[in-house]
Every structure is written in structure tokens, then in C-alpha cells.
Amino acid sequence: MKSGMKDLTTGSVGKNILRFAMPMLLGNLFQQLYTFVDQIIVGRYLGKEALAAVGASFPVIFILIALIIGITTGGSIVISQFFGAKNYTKIKRTIDTIFIVMITQRLRVYRCRLYQRPNWKAS
């Protein structure tokens, strides 16, 4: 086995699940903290219209996050199958493919954002 991989099929099940889930839990915690602080700052300094805009953007952000979770979950299934077969070359190729897909999708979203015009009023 390569040195960068942790075999979750050995050892304590609870400890392995906690070790595996901790980065995701911390990421969700920081995302909620960011949203909370963002709403405080926007609500206090920019007003209720700007706060409503922050709230209205949540469904768009949620769709993007759900898409990312779906792609990575599907990729993790393939990676798990290759890991079980001890085919480490295909694991690396699958991870590289997932990164390429994610970067490509990010560039597409960025390109779409470049063609949008901001609808801000000068104050």
C-alpha cells in the first residue's frame, strides 16, 4: 500500500469513521460560521436589501455544493472499488480525473460569471 493512503478496513470502526468524517464536519462548521458572520456584517453595514440578497443567493450556492458532493461521492465509490481490488494505479487515475472534472466545471462557472453585469446602484 502507498504511504499516503489509510486502510479504513482495519482497526477500530468508530475511530476510523470519526477520522474520516472530521474534515467534512469541520468544513461544514466553518461554512456555517462564514454564513453567520456574513449575515451580521451585511445586515449591520449594508442594510436589509443587501441582507435579502445574501439570503436569496443560498439556493444557488446550495445547488453548487450539492453538485460537488455528488461528483465526489460518485468518484469515491469508484475509488473504493479500485482500493478493494488493490489497483492503486487506477485509484490515482480516478482521483486525477475527478480533479480535472472539478477544475473544468469551476472554469465554466467562472466564465459564465464574467458575462454577467452587476446590477449595483452607485451610492
Q: Which pLDDT score, from 0 to 100, does residue 89 have?
A: 94
Of 106, 25, 123, 21, the closest CA to residue 64 belongs to 106
- Please write the tens of the pLDDT for every residue from 12-70: 888 888 888 898 889 889 988 988 888 889 889 988 888 888 888 778 878 888 888 88
Q: Which pLDDT score, from 0 to 100, does residue 118 have?
A: 61
Rounded to two decimals, the pTM is 0.58
pLDDT at 123 over 70: no
The C-alpha atoms of residue 97 and residue 76 are separated, in whole angstroms, by 12
Of 40, 37, 20, the closest CA to residue 29 belongs to 37
